Amino acid sequence: SSSPKISRTTSRTFPPIASIMKFTLALSAILATQAAAFAPSFASPRSTALDARKPFISGNWKLNPQTREEAIVLGKAISESIGPDTPDADVALFVPYVFIEATHTAVGEKLMVGAEGVCPEIKGAFTGAVSATMLKSIGVQWALAGHSERRTLFGETDAYINGQCIKLIEDGMSVMLCIGESLDEYEKDLAGSVCAVQLKKGLAGIKKEDLDRVAIAYEPVWAIGTGKVATPEVAQKVHEQCRAIIADMYDQEAADAMRILYGGSVTPDSVDQLMAQPDIDGALVGGASLDAAKFSRIINFQPM
């Protein structure tokens, strides 16, 4: 068989310079568009659709302060720190029953004043108890349930805590359900399991449509009042697990909407890094909420 003939040309005709420039510019534009489409994004983790969750900064005064006047002075000082430059967040103080009305008057409309607990019963022979109805009658909208000190010192069970949550929801109020593991449980890598049990038992019987009146506070027991703080990365990991548990209980929409706060020796020095985590939506602050200057700095956290 004959080999194929190769045609050779001794002269070539080149297109005009103007045509080459137009082609080069067009090609550059196409390549730039494609590069932009595949370029990595360096946006903040919080600049996502999930950023719709409004931050929630709250203080738990526990068995403090000792007088009504001290409560008024402290509440007023905290409220005065909320100004035009304060991040757009819900702010609440959970205070002893006897100081609720005085503190509410002192802070005005700048923040909410809630109760540190509630009895799941409505009325009857329950000496020393305070019902959701009683709290609602004096303007309270939020109450804590399941705080570790109530669980360990006062023996409140998951069933009792669930009763608190349900009663508050039934009365048109809102609840902050506290969950968290002990140091022993944390060291055995049981944080996720403990939180799963407390979430599932605490929220039992609460419908998805009522979850907009629920917030979760993850408080590692080993970090409460000890000065120890879970690193932002550790706290983020557990918050992420909690959100996955809620998705499993309800659905992803409910999980994405749920505000999950961190509680455990939050300080002015730790709040900014904690609030920079994508699944940490606020803080439940203990000791630092009794110091107006410290709590004011936490309220005025600096988004990173």
pLDDT in tens, 134-150: 999 999 999 999 999 99
pLDDT tier, 51 (very low <50, low <70, confident <90, very high otherwise): low
- Cα–Cα distance, 28 to 299 (Å, whole number): 49
Cross-strand pairs, 112: 92
Other CB atoms within 10 A of residue 171 CB: 17
Rounded Cα distance, 56 and 58, in Å: 6
Handedness of CA 94, 120, 141, 217 (dihedral sign): positive
* Cβ partners under 8 Å of residue 171, min gap 6: 132, 133, 136
Catalytic pick from 116, 147, 156, 239? 147
Rounded percentage of the chain residues whose pLDDT exceeds 90: 77
- Decide if pLDDT at 94 tops 90: yes
Question: Which pLDDT band, with edges at 50, 70 and 90, does 16 fall under?
Answer: low
What's the pLDDT score for residue 69?
98
Distance between CA atoms of residues 279 and 46, nearest Å: 9
Query: Positive or negative, the Cα torsion across 167, 169, 175, 180?
Result: positive
Strand partners, 27: none
The pLDDT-based confidence of 187 (bands split at 50, 70, 90) is: confident
The reported pLDDT for the residue numbered 265 is 84
> φ, ψ for residue 146 (rounded to 5)?
85, 15
**Active-site choice (156, 181, 219, 239):** 219
List the structure tokens of 203: 């929220």
Helix (H/G/I), strand (E/B), else coil: 249 = helix
Instruction: Check residue 8 and give its pLDDT.
Output: 40
pLDDT number for residue 86: 97
- Residue 156, pLDDT above cutoff 80: yes
Structure tokens that stand for 197 in this block: 């049990």
> Residue 147 catalytic?
yes
Q: Name the pLDDT band for 109 (thresholds 50, 70, 90).
A: very high
DSSP state of 131: B
Tell which wins on pLDDT, 52 or 122: 122
pLDDT digits (tens, 9 = 90+) for 268-299: 999 999 999 999 999 999 999 999 999 999 99
Q: What residues form DSSP beta bridges with 218? A: 179, 262
303 cis-preceded (ω within 30 degrees of 0)? no
